[in-house]
Amino acid sequence: MRHMRGFEMMKKQRLFYGAMILMAGLLAGCAGASSEQNNVDLSTAAAPDVEVEALSGIPEDFMTGADLSSYIAEKESGVTYYDFEGNALDDAGFFKLLADGGVNYVRIRLWNDPTDDKGHTYGGGHCDLDTVTELGKLATQAGMKVLLDFHYSDFWADPGKQKAPKAWDGMAHEDMAQALYDFTKESLQHLLAEGVDVGMVQIGNEITNGLCGTSYHHLMTELLSAGSKAVREVAAEEEREILIAVHYTNPEEENYGEYADYLDRYGVDYDVFASSYYPYWHGTLENLTAQLALVADTYGKKVMVAETSYVHTLTDYDGAANTESAEKGFDTFDYDISAQGQIDEVRAVMQAVLAVGEAGIGVCYWEPAWIPVSVYDETSADAAQVFAHNQEIWETIGSGWATSYAGAYDKDAALYYGGSAVDNEAWFTADGHPLSSVNTYKYIREGATLGEGYSRMEAEPVPEVEEVSSDLPGGAVNLLANPGFEEETAWEIHNLTGEACAIEDDTNNVLNGEYCLKFWDNVDFTFIVTQTVTLDAGTYHYGGWFEGGDCGDSARLALFATTGEVTDNIDEAEYTADTTAQGWRTWDNPELLMEIVEDVTEVTVGVFVQAPAGGWGAFDDLYLYKE
Ligand code: CA
């Protein structure tokens, strides 16, 4: 999964959206009363509360998978899962529930060494080889096959990050290829020796933009070939069939032909070309089919969707903001926000894969069991205690997406460590009761008719996002050059301590355009950004837009203007307008008024920020105009 996107992992700020979330929460029912959440009457749960038209032409051996990588850490954290009758499930019961629901494959990510030098877990399910082995055995015992997902990293690998494991860092390329071969071979041998039924191995995770710290195709393919060779050798030794998959994402960029081409040119030996497909971000299903068909038809490969998921609610129930939330109204919600919508989404994705023809071999749902440790409700009196409890468990057990200990390895984790970003995409309610979507695959194969007394689920409304307008008053002319930071011109950036500030291409954190003035550092920092203009006498407005977080009470964030020298003491400037960090996409609009008495006065306007380690933010669309 493209797990981290900009500042999404921030704890939610709900200044603009509070009413919407409250409404969503009311519709979803409170998490503690799971039986109400989707109208499920637990006593007669055999009757579906969803309607699904059976999808024809699904081969018997079509992979209908679920990525359950966080399951072991969830159980260690005290999470309980239930069956439809409300009985608490043991491990075998949990896996039987999923198997009965049609899951035939369990996908599990493997990180090389997801711990810091003192042995603290990085979190994210602490998916080292021991954890993968334990989980793999549970899946095998339930009659499911395992898709082993090598990230070839110590933590999350996705389009935004492909960091080599610590132990491989700085290795010459041939040595890294050897290390990757050894790790692949030894890990796979270990799992098979432990009786884990590995049916497919993914060499790398979402390698669209690189692998193990490199984005050069000739180096990436050398590493992929080393992994592939190891899998082929183990499969031969063990006399079993193990499919080898490569895994890319962002089908909407329409590059799959190029990726398959370089894999072909460099002779990478693989069987399956897999894609992620998240409907909020990844374009149309017609395009997905076309991209996969191109690879299948041109290079004779099997194809599949290795990750997909969909929301059943927009409410967060663990206190760690979700990737898809009411704030993400600008993402695409093509299906109902309900268990019905979850099933409809997977059905549509399966249809898209099947449309490729025989080469289309499977679909895998991402992390349907990653639910809250304890159910968090920000409006309840004990919200702070519940969050503190969750945070403590995430930090010690590793059942959240990242611990603070991961920060030294993963810059995003230093900023946004915490719980699950996808608890609203699970097949379970926040307190562990199954939604009808646990039966997604069974219903898609067999169809489902609404049980007596049920009507089609009431979907949560798709949120509308409040637009922030940065238009100037009618007739006003912006006197700043490069006001939206779309170029590297006009502004002087002085990082006085730290290296926090830069103009960055980051559409997740812009108000408009593609670039913004962004900052973050893992040490305390101070910076000043300036632009000098010459003004005639008059009254001027200097302002702009700011979003940010984790700056604490000690930070100073301000716009300033001065006709004198700029110093590192912002209070020496004649004009200042302070701002505060109120959260991701919560834009503040600091503005100052200045009186210029003489024509041809040189004025320096700018941004001043002094903040503690971990503080982050973005300025965009600054303006200066004459009244
Ligand atoms: Ca969450």
Residue 342 to residue 391: CA distance in whole angstroms: 28
Question: What rounded mean pLDDT belongs to the chain?
Answer: 90
Dihedral sign of CA atoms 381, 387, 392, 397 in order? positive
What average pLDDT score do residues 178-202 get? 98
- Residue 422 Cα to ligand 1 midpoint, Å, equals 6
Contact 323, 422 (CB under 8 A): yes
Is the pLDDT score of 13 beyond 80? no
Catalytic residue among 8, 222, 307, 460: 307
Is the pLDDT score of 14 beyond 50? no
Which pLDDT does position 250 carry in this prediction?
95
Is the pLDDT score of 16 beyond 60? no
- Tell me 167's DSSP state: G
Check if 307 is active-site: yes
- Residue 76 Cα to ligand 1 midpoint, Å, equals 18
What average pLDDT score do residues 566-572 get? 92
According to DSSP, the residues that pair with 350 across neighbouring strands are none
What average pLDDT score do residues 205-232 get? 97
What average pLDDT score do residues 316-331 get? 83
Which pLDDT does position 344 carry in this prediction?
97
Check if 324 is active-site: no
**Residue among 434, 454, 498, 462 nearest 337 (CA):** 462
What average pLDDT score do residues 598-607 get? 96
Where residue 18 falls among pLDDT bands split at 50, 70, 90?
Answer: very low
- Residue 323 Cα to ligand 1 midpoint, Å, equals 8
> Which residue shows structure tokens 């979330």?
21
Residue 74 to residue 90: CA distance in whole angstroms: 13
Which pLDDT does position 6 carry in this prediction?
34
Contact 418, 394 (CB under 8 A): yes
Residue 443 to residue 450: CA distance in whole angstroms: 11
What interhelical angle do 256-265 and 217-238 show, nearest 10? 70
Contact 285, 352 (CB under 8 A): yes
- Write the CB contacts of 182 (distance below 8 Å, at least 6 apart in sequence): 230
- Residue 519 Cα to ligand 1 midpoint, Å, equals 25
- Residue 375 Cα to ligand 1 midpoint, Å, equals 10
- Residue 544 Cα to ligand 1 midpoint, Å, equals 31
Is the pLDDT score of 307 beyond 80? yes
Torsion of CA 92, 96, 97, 100, to 10 degrees: 180
Where residue 475 falls among pLDDT bands split at 50, 70, 90?
Answer: confident
Contact 75, 69 (CB under 8 A): no
Q: Which of 6-10, 63-67, 489-493, 502-506 has the lowest mean pLDDT?
A: 6-10
- Residue 75 Cα to ligand 1 midpoint, Å, equals 17
Residues 341-379 pLDDT 10s: 999 999 999 999 999 999 999 999 999 999 999 999 988
Contact 390, 376 (CB under 8 A): yes
Catalytic residue among 8, 51, 206, 547: 206
- Residue 83 Cα to ligand 1 midpoint, Å, equals 22
Dihedral sign of CA atoms 310, 313, 317, 319 in order? positive
SS3 107: strand
Q: In whole angstroms, how large is the CA radius of gyration of the chain?
A: 26
pTM of the prediction? 0.74
- Residue 11 Cα to ligand 1 midpoint, Å, equals 9
Residues 383-438 pLDDT 10s: 999 999 999 999 999 999 999 999 999 988 988 899 999 999 999 999 999 999 99
Amino acid at residue number 374: S
Q: Please tell me the total number of residues recorded for the chain in this structure.
A: 627
Which pLDDT does position 24 carry in this prediction?
32
Which pLDDT does position 28 carry in this prediction?
33
Q: What are phi and psi of 363, to 5 degrees?
A: -140, 140
Residue 77 to residue 79: CA distance in whole angstroms: 6
Q: How far is CA 476 from CA 471, 472, 480, 540, in A?
A: 9, 6, 12, 11
- Residue 321 Cα to ligand 1 midpoint, Å, equals 5
- Residue 615 Cα to ligand 1 midpoint, Å, equals 21
Where residue 1 falls among pLDDT bands split at 50, 70, 90?
Answer: low
Burial class (CB in 10 A: 0-12, 13-18, 19+), 59: exposed
- Write the CB contacts of 17 (distance below 8 Å, at least 6 apart in sequence): 326, 327, 463, 466
SS3 496: strand
What average pLDDT score do residues 176-196 get? 98
- Residue 331 Cα to ligand 1 midpoint, Å, equals 17
What average pLDDT score do residues 72-94 get? 97
Cite the DSSP H helix spans in 160-300.
173-193, 217-238, 256-265, 285-299
What average pLDDT score do residues 561-589 get? 91
Is the pLDDT score of 607 beyond 70? yes
Which pLDDT does position 179 carry in this prediction?
98
